[in-house]
A and B are shown apart, each in its own frame.
Chain A
């Protein structure tokens, strides 16, 4: 077996540039977790169904397990770690999940948080049905989703409150 081909990759994650050297086959999820140490992105199925590994690629929710790190160079990637404010305070989505008991074991949570962060950016005032639609591609085995839907609505509320304050 020939020595694996290695490629230099520049990843821009949460506003920071990282240089890594990886095989082309390295999944973005593994690069984030194991090369950059950003272990908040979780891997639940590695075939794109569960959504635990969802990160934002240029602001759009994307499965990190369905992208190769080497193909992620031209984008700005945001992981759950990047949702936290620079001062360490929680973003509206994080705060809402905490307030509404929107998580139990917490394993699927980062994928929900990134998805909802983008979702309420696009639709700042979702109805309950729209909230449900927003998270329809993420699996959770603990919560039965009831409090996650509530968290989405709460996150929108918190975000609206913040934009009012800053306006």
Chain B
């Protein structure tokens, strides 16, 4: 029997290239291509009165300058609104190049194409734009006040107002023995992958083909957008995703203006053109996330059981809504977490501000949702004076209650919000054991005796992963015996080439080393959705498993004919089909690939070897009806609904009594993503997620001033953690409740690490300080201010709400 590959911590096949400098990222491609630089608005809100290009046109090395006036047809239309929603009544998107008005600092106004980026930037600096200033709307307070409007025709700055719920929340809260009201907020952050956006395009006039490489999370989406905007047939555009230096959500948005302008210029100039976003551009022209104000009213009983919740929040959507309402919809639905909330009402407003657009960043609305729910449960525990974990346990959905439907709620995919499987009480038991919850009070006492302040926090989450509609897999066995696999979604470091090869090796019975996986290449997989919402393993993993099964069926069918035995007597191990119990009677997959094609040119050893076998029915055509030449399997996976992963994070912090610095003493993660394909890769995803979570909780925030200038648009001032800011150790424990929704029982894992982190830190810092934490992220300076405020108000609680 072949060693099982799924579940093994196999080292990644990607790495040999990447550790030797042989990766191919967007900026590594097409040496000598012309380079594009973008003139971006320095003002948050202004009307463009005039653009003077005079000083640019004669600049040596400049090949073209484009403004809105140079765009025609579909290129002159606003960019697409990717995910419309009935409640998005005032959706607005920007133009590829600003038409008349700019709505955030960083909005593209003109592009220059030049011999290299240096000259292109020289030219951009010489373009003169005159503006008529309009009042900027920055921050949720200003947007809600609506004294000024971002878009003249959007009253109240409200892009959307959405209301959902089940039961009678208001009634339940009114009748509840206990009530609490919370007003809390989360600040803006951003994905900031180490590689910014990048697009390269080459127009081949002879073939009439546009070849585009883009650092994207959706090859098919960018391809379709380019075809449609440039008036090309879909079949004329190839979109290849090269190595991508991280995405974390920001690269799912498409098409970015530059993704259209690069191929546009390449066709116009007849030369390859490249755009590589620099770091400052990334901060002011890619996407942000997280910013929300939240108002929660909750009614509960003496035991801390929640009877009803009314959740209102205001979501800062930035200047435009190209990605629809995905982020706030997720917040509004994932708020419910692992809990049975009998009566729920949620309403949110998505608000325009004169700032960078807000689209999903790893977690995509879930960190805010978990923060809201977990702050609420901590408040209930504090109010009743009971252990925070007990409050959570008393509200958990129980293991025998799956599938569990939350009333009539619908999720981000428009499908009913139904959890497929899970075991939350066991997760909690594991989390408490891992972090040492029961021993903490003793530790606190010891620390207190030394004049130290420590606190413990905990947060639970449920994550809807693997949203549809579909992904595909294509498995081709070559005559060499190599197994070529393609799936259309893209890879940004998740190790898909390894994990998907593990699936195929197991499903097909091939050797892991013989399997080669390609992702995000529309020439191989024209039908695909993209990589987001922790969906790659679930969606493409499942599709590839199904495709491999089809390939296997065909291999067995052919082998049965060649070996003149019954299919049921055959097995495939290490790429060889043999008769069970008689391993000498065998045929390898490469030879079967030869036999699968009646046109048997003997180009290789496998073809010669195949001459000894006979397949096919002489009474039928060489390719019988319903068959195809070649040894391939192709299939698509399309689930009825999402599968729900879950987990709990717990953290112990120490806060310096003098400087308010926050040190992480212990970080524990318990999670359940169903079947693990490669535990090493899953743990890597958790490590990275937690690090981003730490950043989001303690370091990273977008600092806009009132005029809409982003004050920290650099890695100098936007504080991504170095190794020195991350816990020395992240303790991880796994729980496996397979999903019944897909062939392998997989649930998504990519975003989990970041989802409950801010909530867990808020809980721990509150516990250490005895001061209610209502805003995250929190810096030592802010914590110090809270201490002063609490001392002035006399509101410090007795330490320790554990």
Contact = CB atoms under 8 A, between A and B. Distances in A.
Q: Are A and B in contact, CB atoms below 8 Å, in the complex?
A: yes
A152 to B, nearest CB: 10
B21 A101 contact: no
B1 interface: no
B749 to A, nearest CB: 13
Given A42-B194, A105-B194, A106-B243, 16 more contacts: A34-B116, A40-B23, A41-B21, A42-B25, A42-B245, A44-B245, A79-B21, A90-B16, A137-B722, A141-B194, A142-B493, A144-B726, A145-B722, A145-B723, A146-B687, A149-B723
Interface in A124-167: 128, 132, 135-149
A18 interface: no
A106 B248 CA distance: 14
A108 B194 contact: yes
A54 B43 CA distance: 34
Interface in A87-138: 90, 94-95, 97-99, 101, 103-110, 113, 128, 132, 135-138
Nearest to A152: B723
A45 B12 contact: no
A44 B15 contact: no
A44 B688 contact: no
A23 B121 CA distance: 15
A139 B724 CA distance: 10
Nearest to B58: A1
A40 B715 contact: no
Listed residue (B24, B27, B689) with the most chain A CB atoms within 10 angstroms of its CB = B27
Nearest to B55: A1
A139 B495 contact: no
A22 B369 CA distance: 53
Contacts of A15: none
A24 to B, nearest CB: 11
Contacts of B729: 146
A105 B245 contact: yes
Contacts of A37: 31
A11 interface: no
Interface in B121-140: 122
A144 B691 contact: yes
Interface string B604-627: 000000000000000000000000
22 contacts: A33-B28, A39-B28, A40-B23, A42-B25, A42-B245, A44-B279, A80-B20, A90-B16, A99-B11, A105-B244, A105-B246, A106-B14, A106-B245, A107-B243, A108-B245, A132-B723, A136-B724, A139-B194, A139-B720, A141-B193, A142-B688, A145-B726
A98 B194 contact: no
A3 interface: yes
Interface in A24-48: 25-26, 33-34, 37-47
Interface majority SS (helix, strand, loop, mixed), chain A? loop
Contacts of B15: 97-98, 103, 106
Given A49-B715, A149-B723, A101 B688 contact: no
Nearest to A111: B194
B720 A143 contact: no
Nearest to B195: A107
Contacts of A50: 194, 279, 715
Nearest to A134: B723
B499 to A, nearest CB: 12
Interface in B682-699: 684, 686-692
A104 B493 contact: yes
Contacts of B690: 144
Contact of A47 (B248, B715, B728): B715
B27 A39 contact: yes
Residue among A49, A101, A108, A143 with most chain B CB within 10 A: A101
Contacts of B192: 141
B60 interface: yes
B788 interface: no
A98 B23 CA distance: 14
A52 B245 CA distance: 11
A105 B195 contact: yes
Contacts of A132: 723-724, 728
B423 interface: no
Interface string B232-245: 00000000000111
A101 to B, nearest CB: 5
A43 to B, nearest CB: 7
B681 A47 contact: no
A36 B245 CA distance: 22
Given A34-B31, A42-B195, A132-B723, A47 B19 contact: no
B688 A141 contact: yes
A140 B18 CA distance: 14
A74 interface: no
B684 A140 contact: no
A37 to B, nearest CB: 6
A135 B18 contact: no
Contacts of B494: 104
Contact of B19 (A3, A39, A94, A107): A94
Contacts of A137: 722
Nearest to A51: B722
Given A105-B194, A144-B690, A49 B20 contact: no
Contacts of A8: none
A19 interface: no
A107 B16 contact: no
B246 A101 contact: no
Q: Which 3 A-B pairs have the closest CB atoms?
A: A40-B21, A105-B493, A107-B245
